[in-house]
Chain A
Amino acid sequence: MSRDRHSKKEVEAALAYAESMGWRIEKATGHAWGRLYCPFNNRQCRCGEFCVISIWSTPKNPGNFARQIRRVVDNCRGEAEVN
């Protein structure tokens, strides 16, 4: 499936990683480039608030922001396995 790429390459790589783990991307307009939805967004899921995250078009520090996205995705996976 094709989608628009994020203009910050670190963020784009983190988004591609999230997609490979089953996360879904929805484009948005405004300061948020889009939103990322966890595949387990249900009662079993332990991501809590981070089941849905807003992705800035221009995060202050793209490298840090990309790392935070990866961490959310990794936490989600870990918890899903425990359950």
Chain B
Amino acid sequence: MQEYEFELKYAVPAGLTLEMIEHRLFEGGCDDALPGVGQKGRLALAFHRNASSAQRAVNSALRDVGHALPELRLVEVGPDWVGVSEVAGLFEFSRQYMLKLINQNQETFPLPLHEGKAALWHLAEVLAWFVEYQGRTVDASLCDVAAFTRVFNIAREFRGLNDAQRRQAVRLAEAG
């Protein structure tokens, strides 16, 4: 058994009180999660769960929450999409230092999946870069979680496509 830390974020419909949410989560076996309830209509659960793999840890948490509170809708499974501040926090750098690292290593640093006011990367790619190019050791269970959440979120996106779009996406992926 290994400990895995990850976060599930949900949209909460009106009419569910905080007391009800807490009660059902606790009764449903989510006493290994820290509930964040600071934003209206949102519930974030920071899990610290024992399981034999990252996939089993995340899937069992999704199942537990789904049974306890079927009216919630999943927004995001993380850590996957991360910005500069989150990566900096993870390695205990300042935000400024992290920006400098990215700018000085433009040839090798992973390309963002979105750039705009704030850029986003897949955590799994950023962790792999730190291991390969900076010689950092990264917690193995964090790497496992980030690899799985990435696949999970891509699979969810894929599920949102219709049949024709799915076939098109597979063709594009295989064409490289």
Contact = CB atoms under 8 A, between A and B. Distances in A.
A49 B31 contact: no
Given A48-B44, A82-B85, A82-B95, A53 B26 contact: no
A47 to B, nearest CB: 6
Interface string A20-41: 0000000011111001001001
A68 B38 contact: no
A53 to B, nearest CB: 5
Interface stretch (B17-25, B119-127, B148-156): B17-25
Contact of B38 (A29, A32, A47): A47
Interface band, chain A: 20 to 34
A82 B42 CA distance: 24
B36 A48 contact: yes
Given A48-B38, A49-B43, A30 B22 contact: yes
A17 interface: no
A51 B48 contact: no
Contact of B32 (A46, A53, A61, A75): A61
A69 interface: yes
A24 to B, nearest CB: 13
Interface of A: 28-32, 35, 38, 41, 46-54, 56, 58-61, 64-65, 67-69, 72, 75, 78-79, 82
